A and B are shown apart, each in its own frame.
Chain A
Amino acid sequence: MGEIIKVGIAALDVCKAPDSITTLGLGSCVGVVLYDELNKTAGLVHVMLPDSTRIRENTNRAKFADTGVDLMIERLEAIGIKKMMLKAKIAGGAKMFEFSRPGEKYSIGDQNVMAVLQALRRHRIPVVAQDTGLNYGRTILFNPATYELKITSAGKMDKVI
């Protein structure tokens, strides 16, 4: 077994088998895994907000779904991975508390998921699997050797997508 690389909130990293990559306690944030099966290489970005254009302080590109996906692709390309080889698995985007702000049709979790899917569509990256929404937190661990994304939640059985 290789090392486990930890990705923080509004951050990203890449890994190559036998290493694996994880992010802990996703709530309404979304973890986006982009992977290349042939090269057994993956990148994980932990995005927090849907849209960088709606916010003034948007220099941290990994924080937003739109720029986070762009940056993740750039990072993978920088280590020789081709965009057309990439596939995606995503998890997170929960609604932790049942409250909504006036004028908000979708929860922040739903908005994050929709924005991630839109960014992936823009780059023509297929989404192979997703485990999103509902009302609980998720820890995710991706193994680039098997392309498995393991999802751990409090008080629930582990899930592999």
Chain B
Amino acid sequence: MEKKSFNELETVEKDIITELGNIGIGNAATSMAAMLNSKLTIDFTKVLALDFDEIANMMGGPEALTVGVLSLFEGDAEGMFLFVLQKSQADNLINMLLKTAGPIDFYDHIHFSAIKEIGNIIEGTYLTALEGLTGLSLKLSPPQVCIDMAGAILSVPVIEFGQTGDKGFLVESGFKDVEQDIDGRLLMVSSVDSYQKMCNVLKLKM
């Protein structure tokens, strides 16, 4: 079956998805703040339709050194989460978790585990909130970490929605810790069918 285009989503559906994203990231930020003992706050959640190049530029240019933690989800709906932040800020997050300091030139397995765990908490909590709100049953894959140019990392979600049109439709949430210089993004990318499933359950309750 061919995939639907994002133009087929209604405005009310986009509103519902934004709200789901808001609650998802709210829960994720709370659990992360507790884990890291930080003043992490949610910056925004928005549903975006972007050109491919706008997405590649969202982390400070296609060549900016970026850390991405990616998980796929499947079950009643399918899609992916990508937690991204600039490499220097990922260093800060890892330092907060490991109670260390300073820039990390080379990630060893401890650093990889740390950033993987942070990504897993964020994505897992977000997904659990989504399940609770929609009643859908979803399963999250183990997280994968990549440190590379932003353009190369963001090409993964870009290719996902490249299959359905020339604009990327994604749910972007930002969160910040000003004191620690952290400005991370969580992107959720799913298919139109899956977004509609998430909405349908809620529409019935309205």
On chain B, the residues within 8 Å of A114 by CB distance are: none
B137-167: CB near A (< 8 Å → 1, else 0) gives 0000100101111111111101100111110
Assembled-state Cα–Cα distance A28/B154 (Å):
10
CB distance from A158 to the nearest CB of B (A): 13
With a CB–CB cut-off of 8 A, which chain A residues contact B162? Answer: 10, 48-49, 63
Chain B residues, Cβ within 8 Å of A26: 151-152, 155
**Proximity string of chain A (25-62) to chain B, C-beta cutoff 8 Å, 1 when within and 0 when not:** 11111000000000000000000110000011101100
Q: How many interface residues does B have (CB within 8 Å)?
A: 33
Instruction: Assess the A94–B166 pair: CB atoms within 8 A.
Output: no
Q: Chain B: interface secondary structure?
A: mixed
Contact call A99/B152, Cβ cutoff below 8 A: no
- Chain B residues lying within 8 Å of A135, measured Cβ to Cβ, are 146
Are B72 and A99 closer than 8 Å at their CB atoms?
A: yes
User: Is B112 an interface residue, CB under 8 A from the partner?
Assistant: no
Residues on B with beta carbons closer than 8 Å to the beta carbon of A71: none
CA distance A67 to B5 in the complex (A): 21
B19 at the interface (CB under 8 A from A): no
Segment at the B interface, from A81-89, A125-133, A136-144: A136-144
| A29 neighbours in B (Cβ, 8 Å) | 155, 159
Q: Is B56 in the interface zone, CB < 8 Å from A?
A: yes
A27, A56, A63: the one contacting B153 at CB < 8 Å is: A27
The winner among A11, A63, A137, A139 for most chain B CB atoms within 10 A is A137
Flag whether A18 is at the interface (Cβ < 8 A). no
Report if A56-B2 is in contact (Cβ < 8 Å); known contacts: A49-B163, A97-B146: yes
Majority secondary structure of chain A interface residues (helix, strand, loop or mixed): loop
- Say yes or no: A136-B144 contact (C-beta < 8 A), given A10-B162, A60-B166: no
- CB distance A25 to B159 under 8 Å? no
Cβ of B53 under 8 Å from chain A = yes
Given A10-B52, A96-B146, CB of A25 within 8 Å of CB of B151: yes
Tell whether B49 is near chain A: CB-to-CB under 8 Å.
no
Q: Which residues of A contact B154 (CB under 8 A)?
A: 25, 27
23 contacts between A and B (CB under 8 A): A8-B53, A8-B56, A10-B52, A10-B162, A10-B166, A24-B149, A25-B56, A25-B155, A27-B153, A28-B159, A29-B155, A49-B163, A56-B5, A56-B164, A96-B68, A96-B146, A96-B148, A96-B153, A96-B155, A97-B146, A137-B149, A137-B153, A154-B63
**B interface list, Cβ under 8 A from A:** 2-3, 5, 52-53, 56, 61-63, 65, 68, 70, 72, 141, 144, 146-156, 158-159, 162-166
